Amino acid sequence: MTMKSVILLGFAVGILWVPSVGWAQTGKPKGEKKAPRAAAPTFKEQQKQTMASMKAIAVAWETYFNDFNTYCPAGKDRPELKWGNITPEELQAVLVPRYIKALPIKDGWGNPLQFAVQCLPKGGAAYTIRSAGSNKAWDGEAYTPGTRTLKPEKDIVFSNGQFDQRPEGLSP
């Protein structure tokens, strides 16, 4: 073998070998990939999470009602169904851990859920849970039961065992 053929053979092996391991241009072994980025949740995923949290709270709250015949903490009657008249801390005190392991207090967007309760000394009771939706702003004070919306910024509202306002196409 001549010197010229040794150089050509070495050159040919080098050309074939470098691309096969993937180091030619990247400096990284072939096949090594960047770590995947966690995808941001979609509006539908955030809505589903919010609805699931509301249903879990409602089941716990209704079970509490079955045991005590009220949605209010003991001795705290609330004659008006008014937003924010029961705090998450008050609700946690009566529901956790007996009725729910941990009380969800934020919606799928990380906004605080808001609670309202009505308890009358001689019977009658109601509760409502609402999320401000993606825009973090309340739509108003009153909601029409059965309302469906395609807009993620709209409030999601659960009241007395049903969704008064919820996203269209998502089953409760």
CATH number (domain holding residue 121): 3.30.700
Domain that holds residue 128: 43-167
Kindly tell me if the per-residue pLDDT of 158 is higher than 90.
Answer: yes
Domain count, the chain: 1
In a domain, 142, yes or no: yes
State how far the Cα of 62 lies from the Cα of 67, in Å rounded to an integer: 9
In a domain, 140, yes or no: yes
Q: What percent of the chain is predicted at pLDDT more than 90?
A: 47
Q: What does pTM read for this prediction?
A: 0.73
State how far the Cα of 22 lies from the Cα of 28, in Å rounded to an integer: 7
The verdict on whether omega for the bond into residue 97 sits within 30 degrees of 0, i.e. cis, is: yes
The reported pLDDT for the residue numbered 23 is 43
Q: What is the pLDDT of residues 46-102, one digit of tens each?
A: 999 999 999 999 999 999 999 988 888 876 767 777 777 889 999 999 999 999 999
Tokens matching residue 93: 């005190």
Q: Which of 141, 136, 133 is nearest to 49 (CA)?
A: 133
Kindly tell me if the per-residue pLDDT of 3 is higher than 80.
Answer: no
In a domain, 95, yes or no: yes
CB 138 within 8 A of CB 156: no
Tokens matching residue 58: 């409602």
In a domain, 113, yes or no: yes
In a domain, 33, yes or no: no
In a domain, 128, yes or no: yes
- Tokens 């040794």 belong to which residue? 6
